[in-house]
Amino acid sequence: GEDVEQSLFLSVREGDSSVINCTYTDSSSTYLYWYKQEPGAGLQLLTYIFSNMDMKQDQRLTVLLNKKDKHLSLRIADTQTGDSAIYFCAERSNDYKLSFGAGTTVTVRA
Amino acid sequence: GAVVSQHPSRVICKSGTSVKIECRSLDFQATTMFWYRQFPKKSLMLMATSNEGSKATYEQGVEKDKFLINHASLTLSTLTVTSAHPEDSSFYICSAGDRGPGEQFFGPGTRLTVL
Protein backbone atom coordinates (compact mmCIF):
# COMPACT_ATOMS: atom_id res chain seq x y z
CA GLY A 1 0.00 0.00 0.00
CA GLU A 2 0.93 3.65 -0.07
CA ASP A 3 3.30 4.98 2.58
CA VAL A 4 3.09 8.50 3.94
CA GLU A 5 5.62 9.61 6.51
CA GLN A 6 5.93 12.72 8.58
CA SER A 7 7.82 13.81 11.65
CA LEU A 8 5.87 13.26 14.85
CA PHE A 9 6.49 16.44 16.83
CA LEU A 10 7.18 20.12 16.25
CA SER A 11 7.55 22.82 18.88
CA VAL A 12 7.44 26.42 17.75
CA ARG A 13 7.40 29.79 19.41
CA GLU A 14 4.34 31.95 18.97
CA GLY A 15 4.82 34.34 16.06
CA ASP A 16 7.44 32.18 14.34
CA SER A 17 6.84 30.12 11.22
CA SER A 18 6.13 26.38 11.43
CA VAL A 19 7.20 23.98 8.73
CA ILE A 20 5.81 20.46 8.68
CA ASN A 21 7.31 17.98 6.26
CA CYS A 22 5.86 14.89 4.66
CA THR A 23 7.08 12.29 2.20
CA TYR A 24 4.95 9.91 0.18
CA THR A 25 5.61 7.01 -2.12
CA ASP A 26 2.73 6.80 -4.58
CA SER A 27 3.87 8.59 -7.73
CA SER A 28 0.35 8.37 -9.16
CA SER A 29 -1.12 10.53 -6.39
CA THR A 30 -3.49 13.06 -7.86
CA TYR A 31 -4.04 15.31 -4.87
CA LEU A 32 -2.17 15.86 -1.63
CA TYR A 33 -3.79 17.28 1.46
CA TRP A 34 -3.12 18.83 4.81
CA TYR A 35 -5.64 18.23 7.57
CA LYS A 36 -5.77 19.63 11.09
CA GLN A 37 -7.15 17.70 14.06
CA GLU A 38 -7.79 19.29 17.42
CA PRO A 39 -8.17 17.12 20.55
CA GLY A 40 -11.24 14.91 20.46
CA ALA A 41 -12.39 16.25 17.12
CA GLY A 42 -12.53 15.09 13.54
CA LEU A 43 -10.33 16.28 10.72
CA GLN A 44 -10.52 19.74 9.21
CA LEU A 45 -9.25 20.17 5.66
CA LEU A 46 -6.74 23.01 5.66
CA THR A 47 -5.59 22.97 2.09
CA TYR A 48 -4.81 20.69 -0.81
CA ILE A 49 -2.59 20.80 -3.85
CA PHE A 50 -2.97 19.17 -7.21
CA SER A 51 -0.03 17.00 -8.18
CA ASN A 52 0.95 19.17 -11.15
CA MET A 53 1.45 22.24 -8.95
CA ASP A 54 4.62 23.23 -7.13
CA MET A 55 3.20 25.68 -4.65
CA LYS A 56 -0.06 26.90 -3.26
CA GLN A 57 -0.56 29.79 -0.87
CA ASP A 58 -3.67 30.46 1.15
CA GLN A 59 -3.40 33.27 3.70
CA ARG A 60 -0.94 32.06 6.36
CA LEU A 61 -0.55 28.64 4.77
CA THR A 62 1.96 27.78 2.06
CA VAL A 63 2.17 24.31 0.56
CA LEU A 64 5.25 23.25 -1.37
CA LEU A 65 5.32 20.11 -3.47
CA ASN A 66 8.45 18.51 -4.87
CA LYS A 67 7.04 15.78 -7.03
CA LYS A 68 10.45 14.45 -8.05
CA ASP A 69 11.39 13.81 -4.43
CA LYS A 70 7.79 13.06 -3.38
CA HIS A 71 8.09 15.66 -0.67
CA LEU A 72 5.31 17.88 0.62
CA SER A 73 5.56 20.64 3.19
CA LEU A 74 3.20 22.95 4.98
CA ARG A 75 4.40 26.30 6.24
CA ILE A 76 2.29 28.22 8.74
CA ALA A 77 3.32 31.85 9.01
CA ASP A 78 2.98 33.78 12.27
CA THR A 79 2.03 30.67 14.24
CA GLN A 80 -0.60 31.25 16.92
CA THR A 81 -1.62 29.25 19.99
CA GLY A 82 -4.76 28.21 18.13
CA ASP A 83 -2.55 26.43 15.63
CA SER A 84 -1.60 23.84 18.25
CA ALA A 85 -3.02 20.59 16.92
CA ILE A 86 -2.11 17.44 15.03
CA TYR A 87 -1.49 17.95 11.33
CA PHE A 88 -1.91 15.10 8.90
CA CYS A 89 -0.71 14.97 5.35
CA ALA A 90 -2.56 12.63 3.04
CA GLU A 91 -2.37 11.54 -0.55
CA ARG A 92 -5.21 10.51 -2.79
CA SER A 93 -4.71 7.66 -5.16
CA ASN A 94 -6.52 7.00 -8.39
CA ASP A 95 -9.22 5.03 -6.59
CA TYR A 96 -10.08 8.12 -4.50
CA LYS A 97 -8.88 6.61 -1.24
CA LEU A 98 -6.82 8.70 1.14
CA SER A 99 -3.64 7.46 2.80
CA PHE A 100 -2.61 9.39 5.87
CA GLY A 101 0.67 10.01 7.59
CA ALA A 102 0.94 9.41 11.34
CA GLY A 103 0.39 13.08 12.12
CA THR A 104 2.68 15.83 13.41
CA THR A 105 1.82 17.23 16.81
CA VAL A 106 2.49 20.95 16.74
CA THR A 107 2.91 22.68 20.06
CA VAL A 108 3.00 26.46 20.11
CA ARG A 109 4.76 27.97 23.12
CA ALA A 110 4.46 31.54 24.27
CA GLY B 1 -17.50 23.70 3.39
CA ALA B 2 -19.92 20.83 3.61
CA VAL B 3 -20.99 19.50 6.99
CA VAL B 4 -20.84 15.89 8.07
CA SER B 5 -22.27 14.82 11.40
CA GLN B 6 -21.80 11.66 13.42
CA HIS B 7 -23.98 10.23 16.11
CA PRO B 8 -23.33 9.42 18.86
CA SER B 9 -20.20 11.38 19.69
CA ARG B 10 -19.39 9.01 22.55
CA VAL B 11 -20.65 5.58 23.46
CA ILE B 12 -19.75 3.18 26.23
CA CYS B 13 -21.04 -0.34 25.97
CA LYS B 14 -20.58 -3.75 27.52
CA SER B 15 -18.60 -6.45 25.82
CA GLY B 16 -20.76 -8.55 23.52
CA THR B 17 -23.24 -5.84 22.61
CA SER B 18 -23.61 -4.18 19.21
CA VAL B 19 -23.23 -0.48 18.59
CA LYS B 20 -24.46 1.53 15.63
CA ILE B 21 -22.77 4.74 14.53
CA GLU B 22 -24.45 7.09 12.06
CA CYS B 23 -22.74 9.35 9.58
CA ARG B 24 -24.81 12.01 7.85
CA SER B 25 -23.97 14.54 5.17
CA LEU B 26 -26.14 17.49 6.16
CA ASP B 27 -26.10 19.78 3.17
CA PHE B 28 -24.97 17.69 0.25
CA GLN B 29 -25.47 14.27 -1.26
CA ALA B 30 -22.57 11.92 -0.81
CA THR B 31 -22.26 9.08 -3.26
CA THR B 32 -19.33 7.75 -1.31
CA MET B 33 -18.62 7.63 2.40
CA PHE B 34 -15.51 6.32 4.07
CA TRP B 35 -15.09 4.84 7.53
CA TYR B 36 -11.82 5.23 9.39
CA ARG B 37 -10.50 4.05 12.69
CA GLN B 38 -7.98 6.03 14.67
CA PHE B 39 -5.95 4.67 17.58
CA PRO B 40 -4.48 7.05 20.18
CA LYS B 41 -1.68 9.16 18.71
CA LYS B 42 -1.89 7.19 15.49
CA SER B 43 -2.95 7.86 11.97
CA LEU B 44 -6.32 7.10 10.47
CA MET B 45 -6.77 3.64 9.11
CA LEU B 46 -9.28 3.26 6.31
CA MET B 47 -11.70 0.48 7.16
CA ALA B 48 -14.12 0.53 4.27
CA THR B 49 -15.59 2.50 1.42
CA SER B 50 -19.34 2.77 1.38
CA ASN B 51 -21.21 3.48 -1.84
CA GLU B 52 -24.86 4.36 -1.84
CA GLY B 53 -27.04 1.45 -2.87
CA SER B 54 -24.28 -1.12 -3.07
CA LYS B 55 -22.17 -3.24 -0.77
CA ALA B 56 -19.27 -1.66 1.05
CA THR B 57 -15.71 -2.39 0.01
CA TYR B 58 -13.59 -3.41 2.96
CA GLU B 59 -9.87 -2.94 3.31
CA GLN B 60 -7.66 -5.92 3.84
CA GLY B 61 -7.75 -7.20 7.39
CA VAL B 62 -11.09 -5.61 8.28
CA GLU B 63 -13.78 -8.14 9.20
CA LYS B 64 -16.92 -7.31 7.27
CA ASP B 65 -19.09 -9.47 9.50
CA LYS B 66 -17.92 -7.54 12.53
CA PHE B 67 -18.11 -4.07 11.06
CA LEU B 68 -21.38 -3.89 9.16
CA ILE B 69 -21.79 -0.93 6.88
CA ASN B 70 -25.02 0.24 5.33
CA HIS B 71 -25.33 3.19 2.97
CA ALA B 72 -29.06 3.32 2.44
CA SER B 73 -29.32 6.87 1.15
CA LEU B 74 -27.18 9.62 -0.29
CA THR B 75 -27.01 11.32 3.10
CA LEU B 76 -26.67 8.46 5.56
CA SER B 77 -24.21 5.67 6.17
CA THR B 78 -24.12 3.53 9.30
CA LEU B 79 -21.39 1.45 10.86
CA THR B 80 -22.46 -1.28 13.25
CA VAL B 81 -19.83 -2.85 15.45
CA THR B 82 -21.26 -6.27 16.22
CA SER B 83 -20.45 -8.20 19.39
CA ALA B 84 -18.05 -5.50 20.49
CA HIS B 85 -14.97 -6.37 22.51
CA PRO B 86 -12.54 -4.12 24.40
CA GLU B 87 -10.08 -4.24 21.51
CA ASP B 88 -12.73 -2.53 19.36
CA SER B 89 -12.47 0.54 21.56
CA SER B 90 -11.30 3.34 19.32
CA PHE B 91 -12.16 6.63 17.66
CA TYR B 92 -14.23 6.04 14.55
CA ILE B 93 -14.39 8.77 11.93
CA CYS B 94 -16.44 8.91 8.78
CA SER B 95 -15.99 11.10 5.76
CA ALA B 96 -18.29 11.88 2.90
CA GLY B 97 -17.61 13.17 -0.53
CA ASP B 98 -17.65 12.79 -4.22
CA ARG B 99 -14.90 12.62 -6.73
CA GLY B 100 -13.98 16.27 -6.95
CA PRO B 101 -10.68 17.66 -5.72
CA GLY B 102 -10.31 17.86 -1.96
CA GLU B 103 -13.87 16.83 -1.52
CA GLN B 104 -13.75 14.50 1.45
CA PHE B 105 -15.42 16.09 4.45
CA PHE B 106 -14.90 14.51 7.82
CA GLY B 107 -17.31 13.99 10.65
CA PRO B 108 -16.35 14.87 14.23
CA GLY B 109 -15.75 11.25 15.17
CA THR B 110 -17.29 8.79 17.61
CA ARG B 111 -15.39 7.59 20.66
CA LEU B 112 -16.31 3.96 21.36
CA THR B 113 -15.34 2.41 24.68
CA VAL B 114 -16.11 -1.25 25.23
CA LEU B 115 -15.97 -2.41 28.83
B64 CB within 8 Å of a chain A CB: no
Nearest to B91, CA basis, from B2, B4, B3, B6: B6
Q: Is B102 left (phi over 0), alpha (psi -120 to 50) or beta?
A: left
Dihedral, CA atoms, A39, B12, B69, A101, nearest 10 degrees?
30
Distance, in Å, from the CA atom of B38 to the CA atom of B111, rounded to the nearest integer, reads 10
Q: What is the pLDDT of residue B102?
A: 55
Q: What is the pLDDT of residue A1?
A: 42
| Residue B16, min C-alpha distance to chain A (Å) | 25
Nearest CB to A100 within list B44, B49, B101: B44
Most confident of A37-51, A55-69, A93-107: A55-69
Question: Is there a contact between B105 and A45 if contact means CB atoms under 8 Å apart?
Answer: yes
- Work out the pLDDT band at B101, boundaries 50, 70, 90: low
Per-residue pLDDT reduced to its tens digit, B19-76: 999 999 988 888 889 999 998 777 889 999 988 888 899 999 999 999 999 988 889 9
Which residues of A make CB contacts under 8 Å with B?
A: 31, 33, 35, 40-45, 48, 50, 88, 96-103, 105
- Residue from B36, B41, B44 whose CB has the most chain A CBs within 10 Å, to mutate: B44
More confident residue, A89 or A97: A89
The stretch B66-87 carries a mean pLDDT of: 93
Per-residue pLDDT reduced to its tens digit, A22-43: 999 887 878 899 999 998 888 8
Nearest to A28, CA basis, from A57, A67, A60: A67
| Residue A12, min C-alpha distance to chain B (Å) | 20
B61 CB within 8 Å of a chain A CB: no
B5 CB within 8 Å of a chain A CB: no
User: Apex CA B73: angle with CA B63 and CA B99, to 5°?
Assistant: 80
What is the H or E stretch that residue B96 is in? strand B90-97
Q: What is the pLDDT of residue B103?
A: 65
B31 CB within 8 Å of a chain A CB: no
The stretch A38-50 carries a mean pLDDT of: 88
